[in-house]
């Protein structure tokens, strides 16, 4: 890996104070998986009675931990989550499956539970064997040291080329009780829909059954993590997991068995806000990113059609390099609309950059003024809006610009 990059200029100005979540304790350690002088293992202890849900990469070549988690979700009684950075344990064959088994055994022995109760995630280099023995030396100590507070340390331990740790928190009323939702994520490169982050974990004390939790998470991901793309590359390791300890039942929160339960309204809103916040932070920390780009497509024949057009724009290297160059190059936007394969009519197309209409009904806007537009493009956030003029479908995705730094970061990641 290259030396640490400076913090993204798009990083949030402040980090929220992360409250405790009853039933959740965290510990980190430096196991020396790949990095020197930094933590690279996270252990999250979960009280008995915790439920779990997960959404994973749709890659046909998923990592060993993704397969491990998928296999264990049904009927799971989660007691811990172990995450390491530096090595993704992906494309590691039989050795990779053995490394999962071994890691789960080490954690289960230290905690006093079954290996099947341990969830695993790994991020980092693909194709190198993961030396799971390294966890053996740190696990007992981590179990002893786990506390309710160190959320930011946890988010730091799972970083790879991320330039800042990503956390978010929200509270919501569930019945008469106030429940808490804490989340963390790591992203940076290899970020595309079909799970847009490599790793994200969300925790709550709300007493929500596994099936309802899964439904909430699956529906929440569509317009948050799945609406973010950095480079169109889908990781083998993308993992979003959510754990609900149920501890808020003691505060009077009702036990929820179905995602259709009307009492979930505030919780659903808070959860979606946490997911959206984390997803946006992933976009703000895209490798080499200098601009956060929000792409809105209106007037499409449907929302899925609008999403595909928006993603075609968001993944176009020519659009992304133009934005890096602070060039309101609407011609390349037209190109990206055209190649999406969705219904579009050149002569009805209008395009805005940061509120300035630069193209209207298939040609340059008559009032186009280069100086005004150039000034607007200097902003670190770019709102690119496309109106197709065909129907009522609209959607929104987030991405970032494509800079020389992206190429530099990815041209010598392994060396």
Residue 180 burial class via C-beta count within 10 angstroms: exposed 0-12, middle 13-18, buried 19 and up: buried
Shortest spacing between CB 315 and a second copy, in angstroms? 8
Q: Does position 407 bind a second copy by CB under 8 A?
A: yes
The mark string for 311-350 relative to a second copy (x by CB under 8 A, - otherwise) is: ----xxxx--xx-xx-x-xxxx-xxxxxxxxxxxxxx-x-
Q: Does position 378 bind a second copy by CB under 8 A?
A: no
Inter-residue contact 395 to 303 (CB < 8 Å): yes
Q: Does position 376 bind a second copy by CB under 8 A?
A: no
Size of the site for a second copy (CB under 8 A): 74
- C-alpha distances out from residue 411 to 235, 287, 405, Å: 17, 12, 9
Shortest spacing between CB 339 and a second copy, in angstroms? 4
Q: Does position 48 bind a second copy by CB under 8 A?
A: no
Which residue number, 92 or 245, has a Cβ lying nearer to a second copy?
A: 92
Which residue number, 62 or 209, has a Cβ lying nearer to a second copy?
A: 62
| Strand locations in 175-291 (E) | 177-186, 199-204, 239-244
Residue corresponding to tokens 């956030």: 381
Alpha-carbon gap, residue 228 to 405, rounded angstroms: 20
The mark string for 97-136 relative to a second copy (x by CB under 8 A, - otherwise) is: ----------------------------xxxxx-------
Q: Does position 264 bind a second copy by CB under 8 A?
A: no
Structure tokens at 98: 């053995």
Inter-residue contact 81 to 44 (CB < 8 Å): yes
Phi and psi based region of residue 345 (left: phi greater than 0; alpha: psi -120 to 50; beta: remaining): beta
Range 184-203, binding a second copy (CB under 8 A): 189-190, 192, 194
Q: Does position 389 bind a second copy by CB under 8 A?
A: no
Shortest spacing between CB 156 and a second copy, in angstroms? 24
Alpha-carbon gap, residue 324 to 352, rounded angstroms: 17
Structure tokens at 275: 């997911």
Range 54-83, binding a second copy (CB under 8 A): 57-62
Shortest spacing between CB 60 and a second copy, in angstroms? 4
The helix, strand and coil proportions of the chain, stated in percent and rounded to the nearest 5, come to 35, 25, 40
Please state, as a whole number, how many other Cβ atoms lie within 10 Å of the Cβ of residue 336. 23
Shortest spacing between CB 1 and a second copy, in angstroms? 12
Shortest spacing between CB 7 and a second copy, in angstroms? 21
Q: What is the dihedral of CA 19, 24, 28, 31, to 10 degrees?
A: -160
Q: Does position 406 bind a second copy by CB under 8 A?
A: yes
Which residue number, 193 or 246, has a Cβ lying nearer to a second copy?
A: 193
Question: Which residues does the annotation mark as catalytic?
Answer: 197
Range 142-161, binding a second copy (CB under 8 A): none
């Amino acid at each position: 890996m290259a030396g640490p990059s400076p913090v993204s200029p798009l990083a949030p100005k402040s980090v929220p104070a992360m409250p405790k979540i009853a039933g959740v304790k965290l510990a980190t350690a430096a196991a020396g998986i790949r990095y020197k002088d930094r933590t690279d293992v996270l252990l999250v202890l979960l009280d008995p009675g915790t439920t779990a849900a997960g959404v994973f990469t749709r890659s046909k070549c998923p990592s060993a931990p993704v397969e491990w988690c998928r296999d264990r979700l049904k009927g799971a009684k989660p007691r811990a989550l172990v995450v390491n950075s530096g090595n993704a344990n992906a494309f590691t064959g039989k050795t990779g499956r053995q490394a999962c088994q071994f890691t789960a055994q080490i954690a289960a022995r230290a905690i006093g539970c079954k290996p099947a109760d341990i969830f695993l995630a790994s991020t980092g280099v693909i194709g190198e064997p993961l030396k799971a023995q390294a966890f053996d030396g740190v696990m007992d100590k981590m179990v002893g040291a786990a506390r309710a507070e160190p959320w930011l340390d946890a988010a730091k331990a799972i970083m790879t080329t991320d330039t800042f740790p990503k956390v978010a928190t929200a509270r919501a009323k569930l019945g008469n009780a106030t429940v808490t939702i804490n989340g963390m994520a790591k992203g940076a490169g290899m970020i595309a829909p079909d799970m847009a982050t490599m790793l994200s974990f969300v925790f709550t004390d709300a007493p929500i059954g596994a099936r309802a939790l899964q439904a909430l998470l699956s529906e929440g991901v569509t317009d948050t993590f799945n609406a973010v793309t950095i480079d169109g590359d889908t990781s083998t390791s993308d993992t979003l997991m959510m754990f609900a300890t149920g501890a808020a039942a003691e505060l009077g929160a009702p036990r929820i068995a179905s995602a259709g339960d009307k009492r979930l309204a505030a919780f659903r809103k808070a959860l979606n806000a946490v997911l959206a916040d984390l997803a946006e932070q992933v976009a703000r920390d895209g490798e080499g990113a200098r601009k956060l780009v929000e792409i809105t497509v209106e007037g499409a024949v449907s929302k899925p059609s609008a999403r595909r057009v928006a993603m075609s724009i968001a993944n176009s290297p020519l659009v992304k390099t133009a934005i890096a160059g602070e060039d309101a190059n609407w011609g390349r936007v037209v190109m990206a609309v055209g190649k999406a394969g969705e219904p579009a009519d050149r002569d009805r197309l209008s395009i805005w950059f940061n509120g300035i209409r630069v193209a209207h009904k298939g040609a340059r806007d008559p009032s186009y003024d280069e100086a005004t537009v150039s000034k607007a493009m200097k902003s670190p956030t770019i709102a690119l809006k496309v109106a197709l003029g065909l129907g009522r479908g609209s959607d929104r995705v987030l991405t970032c610009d494509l800079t020389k730094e992206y190429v530099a970061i990815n041209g010598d990641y392994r060396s």
